[in-house]
Amino acid sequence: MKYISTRGQAPALGFEDVLLTGLAADGGLYVPELLPRFTLEEIRSWRGLPYSELAFNVMFPFVEGAIPADDFRAMLKETYADFAHPAVAPLIQIGSNEWVMELFRGPTLAFKDFALQLLGRLLDYVLEKRQQHVVILGATSGDTGSAAIEGCRRCKHVDIFILHPHQRVSEVQRRQMTTVPGDNIHNLAVRGNFDDCQQMVKASFGDQSFLDGKAQLVAVNSINWARIMAQIVYYFHAALSLGGPDRSLAFSVPTGNFGDIFAGYLAREMGLPIEQLVIATNRNDILHRFMSGNRYEKHQLEHTLSPSMDIMISSNFERLLFDLYGRNGAAVADLFARFQQGPVSIDDYRWAQARKLFDSYAVDDEATCATIAEVFSEAEYLLDPHTAIGVKAAQACRRDASIPMVTLATAHPAKFPDAVEKAGVEARPALPLHLADLFEREERYQVLDNDITAVQQFIAKHWKFA
C-alpha cells in the first residue's frame, strides 16, 4: 500500500513512513493511493467476529507489507482488551430506530482511544525496529491529548508534547492530561484557542529546524493516517450489529476536525452501505456553512459547552476535497492558497456530489442542553454535550426513518459535568472507578504565550536528548 499527498507534490510513501511523517512535505495530508474494497459477501462473513478481529479484516490492507499479519493481529487484540465493555463499542437504542454507539469505553473515555491506543503500539513496533527516537507533537481541543498520552506514555522511543488552549478545555479533560506522570510527557497550555495550537503544530512540522536535525516530529492529531484508519472500523461494527450489509445505515457524527466523519465516508467507499452522513457541529460551524451553502469561510472562534469541537479550520476536510476534485492535488493546493486570503467555494457540481451523501446541522448551547434533558427524560440515557449535538442533528436531518440512524457517542458525560448540570439533569455523572481519584492527583503543565518561538524553544530544551 502506497500513500500520496492531497497536494500532489510530495513523494509517495509506505505505511511506516506515513506513520512517522504527519504532514506531507508539500503541506498536504497523506491518503491511500488506492482504497481496498470489500464485497457484501465479505462484509457479511464478518458478522459475530470480536471487535479486534473485525479491525484486523478492515485495516490489514493498509499496513500489509509493513507489519506481518500475526504481529498486527496481536497488536489489535491487546489494544481493544483494555476497553471496559466486551462489545468495545456497544450500541444503545434511545428512540425509534435511533441508536447511539458508545465510543467512550476506552481508558480516557473518548472515541480517540480507538485510534490512539493503537497508534502507541504501532509507534513502539516501528521505532523499536528502526532504533529511532522521535518527538510527538500534537494539539488538542480536549480529548486527543489525554488519549495520545495514555496510548504513548509507555513508548520508550518517544517524548510527548501536547498543546491545549489555556482555560478552554473542561477540568476533567485537562486533568486527564496533566496528571499522568512521566519524564517524557509535557503538557503546554497556550494562551490562545485550539486553532492557534493547531497552526503551531502544522508550522513546526513544516520547519523542524528548531530540533537541529537531532529528532523527527510525529503527529498524533487526526492528520496522521493511522488515526483515520482505526476509526473506519466502528462504522463496519455498527452496520454488522444492526443488519448490515443487507441494509443501509445513516450516521450522525459530532465533528470539528472532520476526521471521524471522513472515516465514515471511507467505510462507504470501501463497500459498506451507508445512506447518509450527518455533520453535527456547534456554533463553530464552518463545515455546516460549507455543506449548506457552498462557502468555506473562517469566522471568529467561539467557546462553547462542547469544547472538543471548538475548531474553526477542519484539517481533514482537505482529504474529502481531494476526492471531490478527482484527486487533483494541484487544484486542492490552489483552493487552500485562496482560502488563506478569504472565503472559497467549489464548483457547483462538486458541491452537489458531496450533498448526495452529507447533510449538516449546527446546534447552539441552549439546544444542546435541551437535547441532554429531553433524551434523559424520555430514555433515561445521559448524553455528553458533543453526543447531544449529534442526536439533535440526526433528528433534524434524518432522510428516511426506516433506516437505522446511529449517532456516534464521542465522550463520556462525566468529562463535561458542567454541561450536564446546565441541562438541569439531576443525575450528575460520576467518573469511572479507574479515574475516581482524578481530582486528587498532582497536575504538571506549563503555561506559555501564544508564540510559536516560545513553544519551539521549550520543546528543544526539554526533549530527551536535548
Give the three-state DSSP class for 389.
Answer: helix
- Residue 6, all three cell numbers: 492531497
Give the three-state DSSP class for 58.
Answer: helix
- Residue 103, all three cell numbers: 465510543
DSSP track, 318-380:
HHHHHHHTTT-HHHHHHHHHHHTTS-B---HHHHHHHHTTEEEEE--HHHHHHHHHHHHHHH-
Q: Which residues does 339 contact at the CB level (< 8 Å), separation at least 6?
A: 296
- The verdict on whether omega for the bond into residue 245 sits within 30 degrees of 0, i.e. cis, is yes
Torsion over CA: 337, 338, 340, 346 (sign): negative
Q: Catalytic: which of 112, 202, 392, 415?
A: 112
Which DSSP helix (H) or strand (E) runs through 417?
Answer: helix 417-422
- Residue 167, all three cell numbers: 482555560
- Residue 310, all three cell numbers: 471548538
Mark whether 156 is an active-site residue: no
Distance CA 411, CA 102 (A): 8
Using left for φ > 0, alpha for ψ between -120 and 50, and beta otherwise, residue 179 falls in alpha
DSSP track, 226-270:
HHHHHHHHHHHHHHHHTTTTSS-EEEEEE-SSSHHHHHHHHHHHT
Catalytic (active-site) positions? 112
